[in-house]
Amino acid sequence: MTEDSPALEIPPPREDRPPMKANLLNAMQKANTSLTPLFPYMHPGAIVPTGALFIGQPGKDYGQFYHHNTVDEVIIAFVAEGGNLRTGQLYNGGRVHGVNSFMKDQTKAGSFVLFSVTQRQADPGEVQTEAISLLCEACRKPLFKAEFDATPGPEARELEHPFPSINAPPERLAQFNADPAQRECPECGHDNPPFPLHQWGWTDYAEQSKVMARAKQLLLAAGEG
């Protein structure tokens, strides 16, 4: 280090963005969705750690989809019993990665995986895009793709900006589920089953996000009255 090359320094956090910590076990004990952000910070450049929990039981079927993301995601298998990743294993799935239960046998009682999935939001001025896609279960040809803008707003926080990865898909997948024409494979004619949305909890997250954002507005209005 010389006077001409100053040390790289990370500035201290802003006063209105204090450092936060969470216990992943406590967080996922009561999360309403299989993937949930642990902290409210969603702004450009923010590190966004989430928790992910899948639980095996007889008859369970999480299905499978592909997640497309223009930012990287780093997965740590915190604890797994019967998982495809072992406890402590680190994994980067790439910008397009398959998502399923991550269990060897999702119908086996006692199996579970508890992951953290961490992404770094796009920097200011950059576009962040995500998509969810499905393949035909019979011939593996692309069947469905829902793309959505996930560009973080300048001061985005989770309450006003629910995590797009879980907030955007339910509506589009519900349309897919309700429309047999969309589920019929144009290649092989296979009648694909509806995506098992109810296993993922995303609909609850989207609904509770709407209600809590409205609750904040009402609370602020009451304070002004």
Binding residues (CB under 5 A) for Zn ion: these are 136, 138-139, 185, 187-188, 190
State in angstroms the smallest separation of the CB of 182 from Zn ion.
Answer: 13
Identify which of residues 178 and 188 has a Cβ nearer to Zn ion in the complex. Answer: 188
Q: What separation in angstroms does the CA of 16 have from each of 70, 123, 136, 153, 157?
A: 28, 19, 47, 16, 12
Nearer to Zn ion, 138 or 197 (CB): 138
Sign of dihedral through CA atoms 174, 75, 20, 126? Answer: negative
Taking the least distance from each CB to Zn ion, the nearer of 38 and 185 is: 185
- The minimum distance between CB 189 and Zn ion, in angstroms, equals 7
Residues in the chain: 225
What is the C-alpha to C-alpha distance for residues 126 and 71, in angstroms, rounded to an integer? Answer: 11
- Minimum distance, C-beta of residue 183 to Zn ion, in the bound complex (Å): 10
HEC states along 60-124?
CCCCCEEEEECCCEEEEEEEEECECCCCCCEEECCCEEEECCCECCCCCCCCEEEEEEEEECCCC
Minimum CB distance to Zn ion smaller for 60 or for 183: 183
Cβ proximity to Zn ion: between 25 and 188 the closer is 188
Cβ-based nearer residue to Zn ion, 138 or 174: 138
Residue 65 beta carbon to Zn ion: minimum distance, rounded to whole angstroms: 16
| Rounded CA separation 97/65 (Å) | 9
Ramachandran region of residue 104, left (φ > 0), alpha (ψ -120 to 50) or beta?
A: alpha
Instruction: Compute the least distance from the CB of residue 175 to Zn ion, in Å.
Output: 20
Q: Closest approach of Cβ 143 to Zn ion, in Å?
A: 7
Q: How far apart are the first and last CA of the chain?
A: 58
